[in-house]
Amino acid sequence: MTDGMFGANGTGDTSGYGGLVRKASAAGSSERPYGGYFDDVADDLERAYPDFADAIERVVVDRGEITLHVKREKLVEVALILRDTLKFEMCMGVNGVHYPEQTGRELHAVYPLLSMTKNQRIRLEVSVADADAHIPSLVEVWAGNNWHERETFDMFGIIFDGHPGLTRILMPDDWEGHPQRKDYALGGIAVEYKGATTPPPSERRSYK
C-alpha cells in the first residue's frame, strides 16, 4: 500500500492531494451596500449599460473582492463598457476553473480587471456547460488576453470564439485532454527527458 500526505492511501497518488475533500457552496448574490468603491462600480455600470439587469446574473462580494457574474452572450458588451466608460483599462488575463459538480455550469472563466485611472479592481466571471464550452474571445477588447485565452483553452478546454489563433500553448498540439480539469488523470503519465524516463509517482517516492 502506498501512503501519501494528508491521509491518502491505497490510491497510488503519493502527493496526497487526491485525498483532500473540501466542500464549498456557491455564493449567492450579495446584498447592498457592497462597501467601499464596489457600490460606485455597480452604480456606474447600471447607468452606462441599460441591459445591466439582464446581463449580470449576480454580484458577489467575498473576501474583499467583487465579482460580476456575466451571461456569456453579454460578455463583450459588458467588457467594452467597463473598458471605455468605467476606465478598466487592463484585463490581467483569464483563469479557468472546473467545477464538475455544477451540472450545466461546469467550466468558469474568470477575468481580473484593473482600472489604473481609479486604482480599482473587479472581476468578471462567465459559466458555461462542459458540453457547450464556448465563450466569446476578449482579445479585441484587451489584446493582452491572447496568450491567456490560449492557455485556458489548453488547460481546461474552454473554446474562445473569435480568437485569432486558438491553439495549444503549453501542451503539444496532439495532446489528449486538458490537464487542469478535475477529471484529468493525476500522475502515472510517462515523461521523457532527452532519452531518459521518469517512473510514475507511485514508484518514485513514498511517505512513511
Q: What are the pLDDT digits (tens) for 113-161?
A: 999 999 999 999 999 999 999 999 999 999 999 999 999 999 999 999 9
Number of other CB atoms surrounding residue 70 within 10 Å: 23
Give me the helix-helix angle, 75-84 and 38-48, nearest 10°: 110
Are 82 and 75 spatial neighbours (Cβ–Cβ below 8 Å)?
no
User: Would you state the cell numbers that stand for residue 17, as one nine-digit string?
Assistant: 492531494
Q: What domains are defined for the chain?
A: 26-175 (3.30.460.80)
How far, in Å, CA of 189 to CA of 121, rounded? 39
Single-letter amino acid code for the residue at 87: K
Read off the pLDDT of each residue in 48-57 and give the average, rounded to a whole number.
95
pLDDT of residue 1: 47
Single-letter amino acid code for the residue at 181: R
Q: Each residue of 74-88: pLDDT tens digit?
A: 999 999 999 999 999
User: Would you state the cell numbers that stand for residue 170, as one nine-digit string?
Assistant: 503549453
Number of other CB atoms surrounding residue 69 within 10 Å: 19
SS3 state at 70: strand
User: 65-70 and 120-128 as β-strands: parallel, antiparallel, unpaired?
Assistant: parallel
Query: Locate cell 474568470: which residue?
Result: 110
pLDDT band at 191 (very low <50, low <70, confident <90, very high): low
